[in-house]
């Protein structure tokens, strides 16, 4: 385990932004992490530490003047079961999609709608990742995390994590305080098929699936995603750049009078979630490109790097998009990607 100096982070972020980390090290056991944070002079300033998984939800706008800790904690283990569930623990550095495929193979149900999301398991509770009607909070049992300041391992239950839409306590109150080490997921023995997201039903029909299974749902999700989301190996991106805003029903009703086709999904009795991608498209940004920074031609919520865009260029483009959506719809978009 050697701390390297002046390392390009281009291979470590899916936007493919070429910035440098002053120091960089990968760790693959809790003992290594402990040793690093206890004995290494470059790790003494917690404000200068950054934990990196797959780098698929990050936009680097400048070099990182600190120590990047690349999480490579591995291991998948079924730790217990009861009548209804399998409890499966995964090291935070496990690749998310490979973990989902492992569970589907074993018939552990609950993750199928979350197929093909890039990144590692460690960030899954951080962001409360979600897709096609399912979020991590629905399958989450507990996690263990290293508290950087006190050097202690702390256990978190679902309530402790304060999950919200792409939110958790680790993004807010405990920002940069913990390193997530492992997560235990609660997976069903009897599947509960969630095909409520319209496109899944359509895709299953297209696939001519006669008997529903978690494998079929996973494949439907993979097909839908592959048809509209850019593959980071081909075009740099970090998925949805903005969150879908949640607005009061009264504001939605007003907008609907002017834009009858505006897509909205009830969150509760007071709030409606509206599709930011639709608003961005209405503002004329879909397929826009300036230099190597752009807006994906098939999904306007995804900003892309066609090759050598700087993080700042992508960030500036996101600012222009926020301004134009604000001026057309009176709604302020919030960035979903972590900007560094
Ligand atoms: P990173 O980008 O490495 O890190 C993200 C944040 O979490 C950083 O702040 C980092 O410091 C922190 N972090 C990472 N690991 C740890 C840890 N072990 N302990 C503490 N903090 C940590 N997201 C969705 O929710 N739904 C989608 O459908 C979806 N689709 C996507 C499609 C594409 C093509 C892409 C590129 C991204 C998509 N994303 C989606 C976003 C992204 O894949 C997820 O947010 C993913 O969970 C990020 O994982 P990561 O390991 O790459 O995290
Ligand atoms: N839409 C447009 N134009 C566009 C893009 C979308 O009109 O260019 C409309 C679609 O027609 C549809 C609606 O917007 O009516 C929703 O689009 P889509 O199903 O593609 O999903 P999304 O709201 O854009 C969200 C998540 C995704 C997740 C999908 C599927 C957020 C910020 N994004 O996207 O998550 O995969 O739903 O559940 O919530 C991510 O977080 O990185 C991510 C990709």
Q: Is 254 a catalytic residue?
A: no
Ligand 2 atom with least separation from CA of 132:
38
| 104 in contact with ligand 2, CB cutoff 6 A | no
- pLDDT at res. 45: 67
335 tagged catalytic: no
SS (H, E, C) 41-95: HHHCCHHHEEEECCCCCEECCCCEEEEEEEECCCCEEEEEECCCEEEEEEECCCE
Q: 81 with 55, same domain?
A: no
Whether 301 is in the pocket of ligand 2, judged by its Cβ within 6 Å, is: yes
Looking at the fold, whether 241 and 147 belong to one and the same domain comes out as no
92-117 pLDDT tens trace: 999 999 999 999 999 999 999 999 99
Percent of the chain with pLDDT over 90: 91
204 lies in a domain? Answer: no
pLDDT of residue 39: 77
Answer yes or no: is pLDDT of 49 > 70.
Answer: yes
Same domain, 274 and 335: yes
Quickly state the pLDDT bin for 43 (edges 50, 70, 90): low
Please check the confidence at residue 42 and state whether its pLDDT lies above 70: no
Residue 44 above 70 pLDDT? no
Number of structural domains (the chain) is 3
Please give the residue range of the domain that contains residue 267.
Answer: 236-339
Res 38: pLDDT: 82
Contact criterion met (CB below 8 Å) for 54 and 157: no
DSSP E strand stretches across 130-213: 130-131, 134-135, 140-147, 152-157, 178-188
82 lies in the same domain as 181 = yes
Mean pLDDT of the chain: 95
* pLDDT band, very low/low/confident/very high, at 206 (cuts 50, 70, 90): very high
In the predicted structure, residue 131 carries a pLDDT above the cut 90? yes
Task: Give the distance (Å) from ligand 2 centre to CA of residue 51.
Answer: 27
Q: Residues 132, 32: one domain?
A: no
User: Active-site residue 289, yes or no?
Assistant: no
Ligand nearest to the CA of 230: 1
pLDDT reported for residue 146: 95
The structure's pTM equals 0.97
What does 305-333 look like in DSSP terms, one character per residue?
E-SS--HHHHHHHHHHHHHHHHHHHS---
Q: Any idea of the CA torsion for 8, 12, 17, 23, to the nearest 10 degrees?
A: -40
Q: What is the mean pLDDT of residues 24-35?
A: 94
281 in any annotated domain: yes
- Residue among 124, 126, 276, 311 whose CB has most ligand 1 atoms within 8 A, to mutate: 126
């Amino acid at each position: 385990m050697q701390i390297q100096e002046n390392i390009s982070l281009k291979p470590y972020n899916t936007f493919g932004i070429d910035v440098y980390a002053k120091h960089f090290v990968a760790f693959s056991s809790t003992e290594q992490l402990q040793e690093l944070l206890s004995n290494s002079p470059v790790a003494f300033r917690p404000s200068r530490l950054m934990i990196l998984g797959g780098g698929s939800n990050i936009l680097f706008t400048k070099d990182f003047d600190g120590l990047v800790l690349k999480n490579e904690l591995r291991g998948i283990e079924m730790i217990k079961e009861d009548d209804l569930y399998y409890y499966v623990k995964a090291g935070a550095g496990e690749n998310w999609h490979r973990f989902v495929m492992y569970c589907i193979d074993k018939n552990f149900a609950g993750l199928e709608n979350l197929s093909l999301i890039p990144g590692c398991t460690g960030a899954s509770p951080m962001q409360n990742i979600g897709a096609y009607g399912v979020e991590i909070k629905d399958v989450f049992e507990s996690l263990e995390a290293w508290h950087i300041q006190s050097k202690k391992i702390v256990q978190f239950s679902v309530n402790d994590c304060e999950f919200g839409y792409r939110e958790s306590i680790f993004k807010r109150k405990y920002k940069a305080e913990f390193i997530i080490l492992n997560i235990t997921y609660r997976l069903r023995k009897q599947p509960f098929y969630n095909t409520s997201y319209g496109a899944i039903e359509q895709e299953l029909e297209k696939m001519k699936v006669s008997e529903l299974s978690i494998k079929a749902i996973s494949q439907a999700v993979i097909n839908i995603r592959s048809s509209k989301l850019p593959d980071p190996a081909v075009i740099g991106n970090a998925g949805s750049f903005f969150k879908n805003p949640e607005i009061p029903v009264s504001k939605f009703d007003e907008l609907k009078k002017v834009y009858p086709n505006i897509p909205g999904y009830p969150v509760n009795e007071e709030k409606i979630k509206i599709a930011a991608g639709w608003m961005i498209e209405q503002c004329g940004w879909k397929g826009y490109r300036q230099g190597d920074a752009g807006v994906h031609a098939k999904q306007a919520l995804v900003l892309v790097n066609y090759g050598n865009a700087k993080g700042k260029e992508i960030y500036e483009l996101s600012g222009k998009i926020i301004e134009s959506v604000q001026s057309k719809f009176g709604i302020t978009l919030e960035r979903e990607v972590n900007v560094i």
